[in-house]
Amino acid sequence: MEIIGYFASALIGVSLGLIGGGGSILTVPVLVYLFGVDPVLATAYSLFIVGSTSLVGVFPKYKEGLVNVKTAVIFGIPAIMAVYATRAWLVPMIPNPVFSIGDFVVSKAMLMMGLFAILMVFASYSMIRDKKSSSKEAEVTGPQQFNYPMILAEGAIVGVLTGLVGAGGGFLIIPALVLFSKLPMKQAVGTSLLIIAAKSLIGFTGDLSQYEMDWTLLGVVTALAIVGIFIGNRLSRSVDGEKLKKAFGWFVLVMGIYILIKELYLNPASAVAVMGH
């Protein structure tokens, strides 16, 4: 399973390089189901892996002029504050077990994986749906205008979600940058990588005092994902990104439904076993 896990780690980066997002949604399932990492700890590991990979991926975008630093700062400040607060205080405050109905016990790990599966379903919709409306937005010209209240609110919401489930949230950030900051689509993708890198890595620091980290596993998975993003960037020149994004979206949808079914239909004995981790 670990060999499959290492291969999947590289695919996380390949996806980020090919379609500009989506790969981070696989990080937690890869860590939990292939490497046997506890789901709550996996969300912390995911922040480091996603943040480091996005940071490496943002440099070529910046050189091409596809990163709007001002927008990244405006959107990133509330996101960073929210993700750090979520990891440092909110996640540790979640009780374990969360609640029980009769013999059915919902553990903290089950809650995290359930939330993650729901996020996967929403992310898959973002990848599968027709992008015609986004294309129209991408044609916006003239001076950049900021819808500050919406940017700040969206940044905070994305930060909390990132803190809870460890995903980068690019599928939420990119549409927000196009709609509320009037960025062209390609610039929104590059800017989102900078935002994801900053909020994920700073959010991860909120976990350092909470958990004992397996730095070897973390380093290997991160290195493979970074190699993957370079492969993805090269492949992106010859592969139709939109078609690939839709295919990947269907895969993420199936994975999300699978995780939901797996977590919801855990028998009470398994749920209690998860609680003991």
Of 107, 191, 179, 92, nearest in space to 140 by CA: 179
**When comparing pLDDT for 118 and 102, which is higher?**
118
pTM for this one?
A: 0.77
* Tokens standing for residue 171: 């599928």
Q: What is the pLDDT of residues 10-42, one digit of tens each?
A: 888 887 777 666 666 788 888 988 999 988 898
pLDDT band (50, 70, 90) for residue 143: low
Q: Mind spelling out the 3-state secondary structure of 57-109?
A: HHHHHHHCCCCCHHHHHHHHHHHHHHHHHHHHHHHHHCCCCCEEECCEEECHH
pLDDT band (50, 70, 90) for residue 267: very low
Q: At what angle do helices 108-128 and 170-180 cross, to 10 degrees?
A: 50
Q: Which amino acid is at 239?
A: V
* Interior angle at CA 169, CA 239 and CA 186, nearest 5: 45
Q: Which amino acid is at 106?
A: V
**When comparing pLDDT for 26 and 146, which is higher?**
26
Q: What is the pLDDT of residue 21?
A: 62
Q: Which amino acid is at 238?
A: S
Instruction: Map out the domains of the chain as residue ranges.
Output: 2-275
| Mean pLDDT score across all residues of the chain | 80
Could you tell me if 22 and 225 are in contact, meaning their C-beta atoms sit under 8 angstroms apart?
Answer: no
Helix, strand, coil percentages in the chain from 3-state DSSP, rounded to 5: 75, 0, 20
